[in-house]
Amino acid sequence: MPLTVPAHGPEAAARLASMSDVTASDGSLRRFLHGLPGVDAVGLEGRAATLGTRSIKTTAKAYAIDLAISMIDLTTLEGADTPGKVRALCAKGVHPDPLDRSTPKVAAICVYPDMVKVAKESLGDSGVKVASVATAFPAGRAALPVKLADVADAVAAGADEVDMVIDRGAFLAGHYLKVYDEIRAVKEACRRPDSTSAHLKVIFETGELSTYDNIRRASWLGMLAGADFIKTSTGKVAVNATPPNTLILLEAVRDFRETVGVQVGVKPAGGIRTTKDAIKFLVLVNETVGEDWLSNDWFRFGASSLLNDLLMQRQKLSTGRYSGPDYVTVD
């Protein structure tokens, strides 16, 4: 299938057209992905560790906390989710600290497809988006028509964003064109009759991809197929977002924009629970891709518990007192 990624302007369109041979066949796609530079694991982990030691204080820390809050996809993905729980989460997303209305809103509320309508109605015109996982999340073990029906259901209910999971089995078996075509099909299913489209986040489940080289290949594969965001993890496995695997995604989106002129967002998800963790990731963004990605249009945190720690640290900065966990709601 030829490359048909939406381009950002005529120059990007021309660059993408020049790469159309890459996705013409399974063989050409494999040659391209395996021709990407190998990842220096020691260098990658060393850089991530070094950047993680940066000290952020006072005014810069306050800015980073507010920025991180604004980047959160506040998430509930449990079998016991109820409409009431989703409504409460939406209320928290719009006003994270009811006693301080200067607190930023989160970027989105992330739910299963059957809760999209509830979230959409609860959020109203708040500006907080509704994200929905789909494609048989989290394992992705379903036939393509079932996955596409899952996406269509979420989009019809009003989802602004769709978080899909790739077929890791196909990817690890080297069936790259199958994964590419599936992402393209999901991208098409994100379109609405009015010609608008839900943004597509493509989840790689980096903890299951075994090697850093595979994470880099998956990143390029997702972007070539039209991902609006590339995302580390579902949050449902043992190894989720880490600074090294997120650094690979950041390097990939930087190189992709330099190559074809299209900017793609990044979303680390799972295991990011503290303000200190979030700031480490923001430093990675600033030092790897720069200010262009330092907004919730281009960087998100997939998290459920991170917001509470950010709120407690925010209150400590403003009052000088640490309020403790009773200050925030338990989701």
Write down the catalytic residue from 267, 277, 280, 309.
267
324: in domain: no
Active site residue 163: yes
Domain count, the chain: 1
pTM: 0.93
195: in domain: yes
Q: Determine what percent of the chain falls in helix, strand and coil, rounding each to the nearest 5.
A: 50, 10, 40
Active site residue 236: no
Partners of 203 in beta bridges: 165, 231
Domain CATH for 63: 3.20.20.70
Domain that holds residue 194: 10-319
Longest dimension (CA), the chain: 60
4: in domain: no
229: in domain: yes
Q: Strand, helix or coil at 237?
A: coil
CB 321 within 8 A of CB 106: no
19: in domain: yes
Q: Strand, helix or coil at 71?
A: coil
Q: What's residue 18's pLDDT?
A: 65
Write down the catalytic residue from 150, 163, 228, 277.
163
3: in domain: no
Dihedrals phi, psi of 219, to nearest 5 degrees: -60, -50
Distance CA 293, CA 264 (A): 9
One-letter amino acid for residue 4 of the chain: T
326: in domain: no
Active site residue 267: yes
Distance CA 195, CA 192 (A): 5
Q: pLDDT tens track of the chain, all 331 residues?
A: 334 444 456 666 667 666 778 998 999 999 999 999 999 999 999 999 999 998 888 889 999 999 999 999 999 999 999 999 999 999 999 999 999 999 999 999 999 999 999 999 999 999 999 999 999 999 999 999 999 999 999 999 999 999 999 999 999 999 999 999 999 999 999 999 998 999 999 999 999 999 999 999 999 999 999 999 999 999 999 899 999 999 999 999 999 999 999 999 999 999 999 999 999 999 999 999 999 999 999 999 999 899 999 999 999 998 877 666 666 666 6
Residue 330 burial (C-beta neighbours within 10 Å; 0-12, 13-18, 19+):
exposed
5: in domain: no
CB 286 within 8 A of CB 320: no
Distance CA 276, CA 30 (A): 39
